């Protein structure tokens, strides 16, 4: 009995870490160009794009989860296309909650990066280009390193937000052990079944993990102080 509980617990922990790491990686890849575009563009459409990007911040997770559930269902155009291409359904799958998590955490990654790029200004990249660096070279060797605090914040917030994800995942992924039952849903299930011991254990684990990650971030940040 005890061994069985342990297996499930580790399962949900492992699943959560996998989900958070993967969605953080995807977030960084997707959010960087958008954040850079938002920080540098003068296009009139910018406020609209910013609003859409920020939507997951204020929408109740259930609303977002509901729409994603509709979108992911095999009867929708997107959902059926996904089934045709990959042979798997998005709803109630790991890929589904990964996509949902990316969407829901998107503003947490975009906004710190956008702020960091805006603080850089366009001048450093221009200096790099006038010194012989191509625009991409300048971006990689000057713009990104100068915005590294923004990147770190984006990664940590994106990761933490994915770890804490509950409502959207419950709607999109359900509560399938080993597939979509992440740690927050696992805790919820334990509380529902009055298994407070397991809930305590997992909650404390999550708390310690959060504390560890944040401490690491602040230690790293102290080594790279903000310019004065």
Partner 1 sequence: MRLLIEIEVRFGEFVLSVNESLTLDGVTALFGPSGSGKTTLLRCIAGLEPRAEGRIEADDQAWLDSKAGVSLPAHHRMAGMVFQQALLFPHLSVRKNLLYGWRRRGQRPGPDFSEVLDALRLAPLLEQRENELSGGEMQRVALGRVLLSAPRMLLLDEPLAAQDERRKAEILPYLKRTIREFQLPVVYVSHAVDEVMPMASRVLHMDSGRLQSSAAARVSGGTAFGAILLGATLQRQLDSRLAVFCVGNAEVIAFLDSDTPNAREVLLAVEPRDLVIATGKTDAPLNAGAMDCTVRSIGEDETSGNLVLELAAGSSSFRLEHSFARHSDTVLRVGQKIRVLLTQPARVASPIVQSGTGRDSA
Report, in Å, the least distance between residue 131 CB and partner 1: 3
Q: Which of 7, 41, 148, 214 binds partner 1 (CB under 8 A)?
A: 148
The three-state secondary structure class of 225 is: coil
Q: Tally the C-alpha atoms within 13 A of residue 47's C-alpha that lie toward its C-beta.
A: 1
Q: Would you say 199 and 190 are in contact if contact means Cβ atoms under 8 Å apart?
A: yes
Q: Does 60 bind partner 1 (CB under 8 A)?
A: no
CA-to-CA distance for 168 and 179, rounded, in angstroms? 15
Pick the closer one to partner 1 by CB: 10 or 140.
140
58 burial level (CB within 10 Å; 0-12, 13-18, 19+): exposed
Q: Which of 47, 60, 135, 178 binds partner 1 (CB under 8 A)?
A: 135
Q: Does 84 bind partner 1 (CB under 8 A)?
A: no
Q: Does 43 bind partner 1 (CB under 8 A)?
A: no
- DSSP labels, 61-102: HHHHHHHHHHHHSTTSHHHHHHHHHHSS-STTSHHHHHHHHH
Pick the closer one to partner 1 by CB: 47 or 135.
135
Report, in Å, the least distance between residue 210 CB and partner 1: 29
Task: Give the length of the chain.
Answer: 228
Q: Does 137 bind partner 1 (CB under 8 A)?
A: yes
CA-to-CA distance for 16 and 191, rounded, in angstroms? 18
CA-to-CA distance for 31 and 102, rounded, in angstroms? 10
Q: Which of 74, 124, 164, 177 binds partner 1 (CB under 8 A)?
A: 124
Report, in Å, the least distance between residue 137 CB and partner 1: 8
Q: Which of 145, 192, 207, 212 binds partner 1 (CB under 8 A)?
A: 145
Pick the closer one to partner 1 by CB: 134 or 215.
134
Question: Interface residues with partner 1 (CB under 8 A)?
Answer: 123-124, 126-135, 137, 141-142, 145-146, 148, 227-228
């Amino acid at each position: 009995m005890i061994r069985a509980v342990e297996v499930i617990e580790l399962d949900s922990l492992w699943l959560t870490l996998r989900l958070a790491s993967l969605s953080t990686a995807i977030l960084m890849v997707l959010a960087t160009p958008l954040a850079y575009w938002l920080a540098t563009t003068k296009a009139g459409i910018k406020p609209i794009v910013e609003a859409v990007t920020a939507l997951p911040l204020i929408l109740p997770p259930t609303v977002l989860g509901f729409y994603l559930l509709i979108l992911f269902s095999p009867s929708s155009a997107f959902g059926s296309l996904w089934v045709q291409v990959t042979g798997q359904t998005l709803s109630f799958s790991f890929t589904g909650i990964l996509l949902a998590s990316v969407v829901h955490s998107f503003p947490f990654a975009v906004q710190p990066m956008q702020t960091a790029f805006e603080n850089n200004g366009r001048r450093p990249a221009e200096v790099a280009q006038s010194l012989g660096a191509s625009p991409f070279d300048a971006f990689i060797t000057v713009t990104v390193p100068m915005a590294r605090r923004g990147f770190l914040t984006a990664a940590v917030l994106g990761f933490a937000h994915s770890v804490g994800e509950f409502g959207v995942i419950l709607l999109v992924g359900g509560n399938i052990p080993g597939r979509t039952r992440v740690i927050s849903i696992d805790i919820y299930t334990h509380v529902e079944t009055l298994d407070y011991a397991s809930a305590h254990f997992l909650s404390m684990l999550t708390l310690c993990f959060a504390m560890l990650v944040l401490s690491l971030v602040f230690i790293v940040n102290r080594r790279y102080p903000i310019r004065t």
